[in-house]
Structure 1
């Protein structure tokens, strides 16, 4: 499963790079440059997928050295499963290019729908394989099949819905490849750092406290699901920020940054706070009482880390759109180093909880580094980034006060109920709607919802 995270990380680099360039090229009306960029990116993504398979084949042959506590009866099958999953996961890289193309055209609903339906199908296949066979290889094959279905649907959508984009192997060039590398090098560094931050924890815990690995994995998987959803929403802002950058309006970029930070924090808090305070009922329904009880605290800590890290996401998106993200490379590197050191140190002391606390502390270091480096200052030419950050988050922070009070006053046993989860959701949503969102926000959301309902009503009515 860590292999899928690696592939997704590099697929995200392709997605961001292509989305930004397609949006900029379309704003300039330069279709030829767009087609060369997308074609070259697809070739590079294919090469990256082949490299991933080769590296994972080497890892599969050395599982006994990487994880010596894995039972010997599972080592050979584990190596084959690793290679099988890698073959399917490698398609995430060219899939990221296709997703980026649609995002750059502000049609992200197309790849999002494909991935959503595809992941549901993949999940169903994995469940069927697990229940019917209890065999690791069968589950790996189901996982690979799901990725094949998703990639096939992405290619079909590109051919049918984006015929105006010309994609040919002959359009790929070394010059464009160098341009992609120049822009993406820092993004790749970020993703490597993210892999250290998110992917090394299980390996560290496997060496320090192997029996707690399954419980940590449950918490990390649940947290990653919500992090992925929120990250996809933020990525949809990238083409808009790219168009603002092309216009050269620094004031508009600052306003966009401020509003994105405020609204993003509001949405993220609405999602995260119930899962921090009352995640045990959901975990219990998913993995049973024992796993839920032993995973709940770790998930709460990881969700807080997710909140901290996501708070600066809009700043990162605007920096990527304006091609100033290269100045912020020390932030993710510092966070990765801190995460590794703190997870090992605190993990030895506190086990799985310590590893999670190391992730939380390093997230704070990463955010502080971003605000201190302030790469977007040269674009907005206005107040320091940390001032925009603090001003934008003042209203969303109101959501933390009553909910934090509830968390301190209500015993954990009471919070481990569906009633408490429902209460926290209502309180969080109420404070967010009435205290954090402005009247203008509420009117705009109500208007959008009314238009969507009217559209659905027209589609459902008989002709």
Structure 2
């Protein structure tokens, strides 16, 4: 497959993912915009903390969707349907175990998670726990959708799972709007969001029967060797995911513990970051299937460094342009989204947070391609270093500076993560970069200089 064919395939699936990413972004924009106008700051803070449970439970996917994508794409390139069927059966076995583990975690979270927040009023504690249980059970069961999604992403038919996700998002927004219009409680909101989320299961079953019938109708017996192989792959991704939990998941807990009054503003800022990262990932996620297919064919492997360079340049340009637009137009844009009482507080937090996440997401193409060629284990050290720096400095700075201290902890962690990738990984991935100097010059140098200059201009 020529580089032009790879580019066309990438664009096709990226467009499908952008549609899904746009739907998710719209969902993430409208959901808090709806809720924040109907709930007081205290209730909205509790709602935000309850929603955070969804991030923790996503960890119990253990990267299964990514693993399925990689193995299915590899089998598709070799036209080995038997191998693909082994992967699907193994995925179903693993996701059943992962779901059971997640349901146990829901009970533990309901008992202990609220105890971290001393400022949550006693009269809201019962609702808080019930919201955790409702949302947690729904999120746990939704893990089953990882298998069919991974299959279609591996077959590079991204529009199929994307369309199902869009339907769920639209249904959720309509349901939430109806509940809020009728004065619904936090529990009512959780029931609607959880119920709409579970719709992904029958939708996934329908599109799998419709477009992947030949795969699932003759799966055959369980191949335990493939189960073990897939599990090892997922376990290695899980280490990466846990390290990233200290970047994306723990910060809100720390902020809530030390600076509860600003949890509402911080959670809204995190939502804006999630939209940026989600759109970026939606555009770039086809790299996993394309990289895996290219790596499976020896004749195509030489195209991977160029693919990395092009995708990294596009990613850097998008992040920098987004950052510049926000710094000049951020407040008017936030005013369109949020109640006026939140705009200044959210802008102040985002003005630092965006730099931290732009810096760390410069390496998203590299991370996805590492996954595609099964070299992601080499990135464990940077992930652990970034997570450790983030957590350590957030805990050091939060007691004195509150939420802004947590954000600077994230920025320090991002710097440490990028430096550690250059030091520990770049020179050890010849399939993607011929040398550490090549990696630094082609991927890191110019974007980091631009980001540093922008940070100095606006915060110096």
Q: Which residue of 2 aligns with 1:227?
A: 277
The question of 1:246 aligning with 2:296 is answered yes
SS, match of residue 199 in structure 2:
helix
2:359/2:414 contact within 8 Å kept: yes
Alpha-carbon separation, structure 2, partners of 1:371 and 1:385? 7
How far off its partner does 1:26 sit?
Answer: 1.0
**Offset at residue 142 of structure 1 (A):** 1.0
Following superposition, the deviation at residue 383 of structure 1 comes to 2.7
Residue 126 (structure 2) aligned to one of 54, 62, 76: 76
Offset at 1:252? Answer: 1.5
Superposition map of 1:62-461 within 5 A: 62-166=112-216, 171-248=221-298, 249-374=300-425, 377-380=428-431, 383-385=434-436, 387-392=438-443
Name the stretch that deviates more: 42-51 or 60-69. 60-69
Mapped to 2, the partners of 1:221 and 1:323 lie a distance apart of 31
CA contact (8 A) 2:301 2:431 kept: yes
> Aligned in 2, Cα 1:201/1:276: closer, same or farther, shift over 3 Å?
farther
Q: Please, which moves more after superposition, 330-339 or 51-60?
A: 51-60
TM-score by length of 1: 0.81
Number of aligned residue pairs: 409
**Counterparts in 2 of 1:236 and 1:41: CA distance versus 1, 3 Å:** same
Q: Distance in 2 between matches of 1:397 and 1:209?
A: 31
Per-residue deviation, 1:86: 0.9
Question: TM-score normalized by structure 2?
Answer: 0.82
Go from structure 1 to structure 2 and tell me whether the alpha carbon gap of 1:405 and 1:183 turns closer, same or farther (over 3 Å shift): closer
* Structure-2 separation of matches of 1:255 and 1:350: 44
Q: In the TM superposition, what whole-angstrom CA distance separates every residue of 1:364-387 from its partner, at most 9, and x where no partner exists?
A: 211221222226734428632452
How far does the alpha carbon of each residue in 1:382-423 deviate from its partner, in whole angstroms, 9 at most, with x for none? 6324523432456767976997798589xxxxxxxxxxxxxx
2:166, 2:206 → 1: CA distance?
16
Which sections of structure 1, spanning at least 5 residues, go unmatched? Answer: 410-463
Aligned mates of 2:378, 2:266 — CA distance in 1: 34
How much does 1:12 deviate? Answer: 7.1
Corresponding residue for residue 446 of structure 1: none
Greater relative CO, 1 or 2 (CA 8 Å, sep 6+)? 2
Task: Check whether the contact 1:265–1:393 (CA below 8 A) recurs between aligned residues.
Answer: no
Local SS of the residue matching 2:214? coil
Q: Deviations over 1:255-278 (max 9, x none)?
A: 111111112222333334323443
**Structure 1 pair 168/29, CA: closer, same or farther in 2 (3 Å)?**
closer
Note the residue ranges of structure 2 that are not aligned, 5 or more in a row: 1-50
**Residue 80 of structure 2 aligns with which residue?**
30
Please give the root-mean-square deviation of Cα atoms over the aligned residues, in Å: 2.6
Secondary structure of residue in 2 paired with 1:177: helix
- Bigger drift between 233-242 and 124-133 goes to 124-133
* Alpha-carbon distance in 2 for matches of 1:165, 1:269: 43
8 Å CA contact 2:426, 2:435 repeated in 1 = no
Deviation for aligned residue 1:187: 0.8
Equivalent in the alignment of 2:69: 19
Map Cα deviations across residues 324-348 of structure 1 (whole Å, 9 max, x no partner): 1112211111111111111111212
